[in-house]
Every structure is written in structure tokens, then in C-alpha cells.
Chain A
């Protein structure tokens, strides 16, 4: 045991004396979470819009008030003629124009329907889509209220409701993904690099000739990274709660336990990589290409799995990150307990055991 503690101490020296690895360990999680939280976002804020009000009555005024008082839009310009619309867009600042038809209020009362055209600048299709969704939502809400106060014939109003992330805050979607990437990277990449480093320097050979059991050598290399990964997970969660007001609906204990499970999965992957990689560079390349890319592209972190072609959907099942992201979202956003995510947990557990099994086998072969 004393030998083992000495080993772990040495491992910490390695980590803390290497500025590069320190930066990857602690700089990256913070940078990533802030980047994803602030910069890469698909919500809209204070989008400049213009209004062409052909009717100028109480109803249109009320709608305009509601739109301009929401934090999503700011009304920059009132247009006079339909011909002005194009020039407004061409200046580039205006992202949407609301075009109310003539006699809006009267039509609404007499005919029971009136039209407002939402014209968006689709050079940025995502924003355009979001703008039109948000505007429709505001209009619908107003329509609902109208229906309540005025007794008109039954009118069916389509209602969309966003659950779990009612404000459509994208940061809530990104936090689980970023956390997954960071844990994966720190655990798998850093361990595989540090084991490969021992091989490259020839110290691995010395360790294997020593009475220290090979199994303990590997555990000794892995333990510090479990510790650091847990610290990282805590940093990410604290940052997302304090800066982005990310809710953690479920139990923190369950969240911690699942995170440790995923950390161990990633470490097992890291060990597996180190059994095939003889140099630090190879280890890094395999980690980046073999782990990072699939995590970013196929885990459902950025691109929804349900809209992928079937073959890719099938492939996504073998990516541990996919299951961890499902678990994280379920615990953080939906607040469910283990009874709802035992299947995903079991899958992760199975993968971990598989990776450990394969790497033990490979490791033995390498010793020959």
C-alpha cells in the first residue's frame, strides 16, 4: 500500500509540473463551458426587427407592444410601404419584418381571422427559424387571451409547449455535452498519453521489472485522473449552476455516482488506447480521432440522433458518451431517479467491463 501511495504521489508530480497538461486539465473545462454557454447559442436576444403596420389600430398596437417588450426583439424601424421591406433587409440590420394587413382589427372581429406576415432574413436559417417560432408564440399567446375575453365561436388554436427547457435555453443542452467531452478527454486522453509516456521513456520497463504488480502500475496511473476528473465535473456543475442558472432537478448524489461511472468508462478506454499506442503522439491522435469526433458528432450532443440516417443511429449506440448524455439530461433537466435511467446505466457499466476486460487481455499480450 505504501508503495502504491508513493506511486500516486509521483503521478501528481508529473501532472502538476507539466504546464501543458495542467492547462488541458483545468483551463479547458472552464473555457469550454463558457464558450458553449455564451458564444455558441441558438437562442435569440434583442433581434432587430421592423414593422409594417397597414392597419394602425388597437389590436396591432397591442401586438407590437408585446413583441417589443419581449427581450427577444427590439423594434428598430416602422415602415410605411411594402416596397420598403426589401430595402430594410438589404441594409442587413433588420432580421425580420412583421407585416400587418389592412383593417387587421376589424377583420379579426368580423371574419374571425386576420393575417400578419412574418418575413425573416433566411441568410442565417437557424436564426430565421427561431425568430419565426418566437414571434408565432407571442402571437398565439395574444390570440389565446383574446379568445378568453371575447366570446367568439369556438376557435381551435394550435398550442405548442416546450417542456424541460421552456425558455429554450441552449446552454442547458450544451452543459451535459460539454461535461461529457471534458470527462472523456481528461480521463481517456490524459491517461493514455501518460501511460504511453512511460513506455516512450522506458520507465514502463523498469516498473514492470520491479516487484510492483503490473496491474497496480496501471491502477496507480489511473487513480490521480479519477480524482482530477471528479474535480473537473464539480467545476463544470458549479459553473453551470452559478453562471447559467442551470437547474439540477435530480439528486446530486446520483449525478455524482453516474459521473464516476462514466469517468471509469473513459479511463478504461484510455488504458485500452495505451495498449495499442507506443508513443504519446499516437495516443493523442487515437484519442482525438477515435473519441472526440464521435462524441461531438454522434452522441446527440450537437446533432439530434433522431434526425440521423439509420446506420449512424445504430453506430451511435456503441458510443458511451451518448448514454451518459441521456443520463445527465435526465437527472439535471427532468429530475428523474435511477428507476428511469437504469437501462442506460447498465449499458455504460457493461461497456466499462468490456473495455477493462479487453485491455487486461491486450496488456498481458504486450508483456510477452
Chain B
């Protein structure tokens, strides 16, 4: 199988005044991979991700996403990626169907496509009963699934998930990861940030950011071996404590 890179980053930096939020990071993400982007709060994860999804311009360095340059083709990048934020942002005062229609619409899907996608989504997620209910009345776990599905509506090449499992119970988290696996199996690349170290184990490869730099990048297995520990949590602690 051909292993091509869908994200390539080289020496990417972002400075706010004298503060280097992201300090010359270099990595690449392969097609169909589940790439875990780990780090403590304030390590620079979110800033780095914002540069990749085209809503923040880097100070220096090179980066391309889905073969488009982040400096010159941010708009093309936006068409080819999906994004789900940690707030599972949907409109509470719109129904499930209306949310799907709206987000499909802003990604330029045709009416027929939206109709197909809506039917498919409702079927897959088992939402028949609540399709016409306002999203605000649904439990968090459902919002999370809908939010993820909405990010995939336009069949993006890469989907960015910003702490997608915050605030939900372990069972729902487990179910959510099953959705992620299924999506990755269909060839979509997953770029996911998380706090939960047990989730890091589910990723194909993980990078760990400390103070704006990537301090480790490998498969969870090799990282554990490298730091001679038994779980990712210890890897993280060793790195964070320096």
C-alpha cells in the first residue's frame, strides 16, 4: 500500500510577541492514519492545530495539508478537512435534521446530497426518533456523535478532532472511538488531540508536545519501550517532568 503523507509540517512556528507558542515543530501524518496530538494545557496543541486548519497564519516554517500550502491555499484546505471542536458545537435551537442541512449547506453540498446524507446519518446513528427534535434537548453523548458526523458530511480527506471526548462517560467514549476507527478504515485521516492518555493507546502514532516543541513522536508501543514504562500515562509524565 502506498504510504503518502496528507499532512507535512517542517519547522513550523507561531510567536505571540516574544512568546513562542509553537516552536519549530516537524512531523508528517500518513493517509488513513489515526494521529494523536498530545500535550498538557498550554503546550501549544491548539495553536498548532489552528495553523493547520487555516484559521491562523504561522510565523515561520512550512506546512501543507491535503497537498495545499497553509500560507497560500488556506481556502482549499478548508474544503478538504472536517473539524469538530471540544464543545461539540451544534445549534441547540435547530433540530438534528436542520443542523445537518445547515452544515451540509455551508460545505456546498447539493440538496440531493444533503437529503441522502441526512437519511444515511439518521440510519447509522439510530436517530430516527429524535431527527426532528431540537439538538438542545439531546444528551451530550448524542451531540458528540452528531457533531462528529457533521464534520464528515462533505467526505473530507482529513478530520481534525479537538479533544472530542471531553465530559462524556467511558462507555460513550469507547463507542466514539469505534466510530473513529470505522472512519479511519474508510481511508479518512484522523488528527486528534486529547487529554486522556488511555486514548493515546488507540492511536496509530502519537506526538507529545511540551512547551511548544514536539518531544516525542512514534507508535504508542515504541514510545513505551523507549521510556521503558508500561502505559502512555507514564510516558507523558516522564516527558512533562523533563
Interface of A toward B, CB cutoff 8 Å: 2-3, 6-7, 9-10, 13-14, 17-18, 201-203, 205-213, 367-368
Contacts and interface: CB of A to CB of B under 8 A. Distances in A.
B90 interface: yes
Given A202-B85, A208-B55, A210-B78, A6 B93 contact: no
A209 B83 contact: yes
A211 B107 contact: yes
Nearest to B75: A211
A203 B92 CA distance: 10
Interface string B87-125: 111111110001001110111100000000000000000
A203 B98 contact: no
What does DSSP make chain B's interface, helix, strand, loop or mixed?
loop
A17 B107 contact: no
A208 B83 CA distance: 10
Contacts, number: 72
Contact of A3 (B81, B98, B106): B106
Contacts of A209: 53-55, 78, 81, 83, 160
A10 B108 contact: no
A136 B103 CA distance: 70
A211 B101 contact: no
Given A3-B105, A206-B103, A209-B81, 6 more contacts: A6-B105, A7-B106, A13-B93, A208-B55, A209-B83, A209-B160
Given A208-B55, A368-B56, A3 B108 contact: yes
Nearest to A205: B85
Contact of A211 (B56, B92, B108, B134): B108
Contacts of B105: 2-3, 6-7
A334 B109 CA distance: 54
B172 interface: no
Contacts of A2: 105, 108
Contact of B98 (A7, A10, A212, A368): A10
A18 B93 contact: yes
21 contacts: A2-B108, A3-B105, A3-B106, A6-B101, A6-B102, A7-B102, A10-B91, A13-B91, A202-B85, A202-B87, A203-B90, A203-B91, A205-B55, A206-B85, A206-B103, A207-B106, A209-B53, A209-B83, A210-B106, A210-B107, A213-B75
Interface in B131-187: 134, 160
